[in-house]
Structure 1
């Protein structure tokens, strides 16, 4: 499978990303305008596109580039799953040049995805720390 790694999305690819989000329970309510705004505010974007510029994989990272980074929205287009692209997307994120010196990288995932992310050293062992949320 041949694809290119890009760090920004075209207008059409943003539409494709919004469509991908609609197929996932965790992002089904995201609207195009909000997705476009989200992309502008993301520090790092990693996307896989085919030679025809079709979006087939995506993730984004928020970071201070020193102490913390959080990987969000690791997603592969359903027709391209089970081809190892999710692992390649994670490799690209973890090995991104701007993240090499970052002290800690975090992500959110479903329990059944934990073994996948553990391959890159992610763990639920965070000591006494607890994650807290404030919903609006």
Structure 2
């Protein structure tokens, strides 16, 4: 297994690679424009995971750093899955000093419930209290 490093330094992020994954391989952001990815990164706490300088994983957190955070855009490149990298990435996210003591930390997932459960994430205790505006195919409609 190769040595992986994790950084929250945005200067190290490979934004074109992040855009490529999100816009072509994710299940949640197909067709997302590069400018939208860049704006999202600019306004979020981001985590890149690297092997020999190449970015192999990513996670982004939107937060007020006091009461609330929302974890989004978490991925490990397919050829690097199965090596424990998602767990190491989540370890880094959950340990970040700016994300401690939050009243609510949320995420949405269709495939990784087992991973996130290890970090205390559960289905909403009061789902009737949550509301959303969700446009799943927004980026495809923009083409």
Shared fold, TM over 0.5: yes
* Contact 2:6/2:89 (<8 A) preserved: no
Aligned residue in 2 for 1:86? 86
Aligned residue in 2 for 1:35? 37
SS of equivalent to 1:57:
strand
Structure 1 unpaired stretches of 5+: none
SS of equivalent to 1:126:
coil
Listed as ranges, the matches of 1:59-70 within 5 Å are 59-70=59-70
Structure 2 unpaired stretches of 5+: 139-143
Provide Cα deviations, 1:43-98, integer angstroms capped at 9, x if missing partner. x11110122x2110100101111111111111111110111111111111111111
Distance in 2 between residues matched to 1:6 and 1:134, nearest whole Å: 30
Structure of higher RCO (CA pairs closer than 8 Å, 6+ residues apart): 2
SS of equivalent to 1:93:
helix
TM-score normalised by L of structure 2: 0.83
Distance apart, 1:134 and its partner CA: 5.6
Runs ≥4 residues deviating over 4 A: none
Distance apart, 1:41 and its partner CA: 1.3
Listed as ranges, the matches of 1:4-83 within 5 Å are 4-7=5-8, 8-10=10-12, 13-21=14-22, 22-42=24-44, 44-51=45-52, 53-83=53-83
Residue 118 of structure 1 pairs with residue 124 of structure 2? no
Distance in 2 between residues matched to 1:133 and 1:100, nearest whole Å: 27
